[in-house]
Amino acid sequence: MDYIHIDDLRVSGNHGVGEEERAKPQEFLISVRLGADTRKAAGSGQLEDTIDYHDTLKLIEHVFENTSHSLLETLAEHIAAEILQDKRVSSVELTIKKTGVWRNGIPGVTILREQVR
């Protein structure tokens, strides 16, 4: 299995359980790993034969900026489902960390979802 990944993407959004958490944007740290066969792109050297990092980045930013979820788990499921709309992606491993919540430590969630064949 080949993987395309983006690590430590900083995004802002209004997500959280309490009203105060959703009242103003907070910073999140995202890492995503997409399972995909990259052999065609490796042979052709063409961007259209692979998963474009920029498209994935824009999708994640769009979900963060235009939705509001109480739980990181729900937010992660939403993003993973959107990414898996691209049938070239066989799996998504997504980590969301909520920075700035605690003085010591960073809470987060990691999910792994696979394409339904």
Q: Is the pLDDT of residue 100 over 90?
A: no
pLDDT greater than 80 at residue 114:
yes
Q: What values do phi and psi take at 3, rounded to 5?
A: -135, 140
User: Does 58 qualify as catalytic in the annotation?
Assistant: no
pTM of the model: 0.92
Q: Which residues pair with 108 in a beta bridge?
A: 97
Q: What is the pLDDT of residues 1-59, one digit of tens each?
A: 899 999 999 999 998 888 877 778 899 999 999 999 999 999 999 999 999 999 999 99
**In this structure, which amino acid lies at residue 13?**
G
Angle at 101 between CA 65 and CA 54, to 5 degrees: 35
Q: All domains of the chain, ordered by start, with CATH?
A: 3-114 (3.30.1130.10)
**CB within 8 A of 74, min separation 6: which ones?**
none
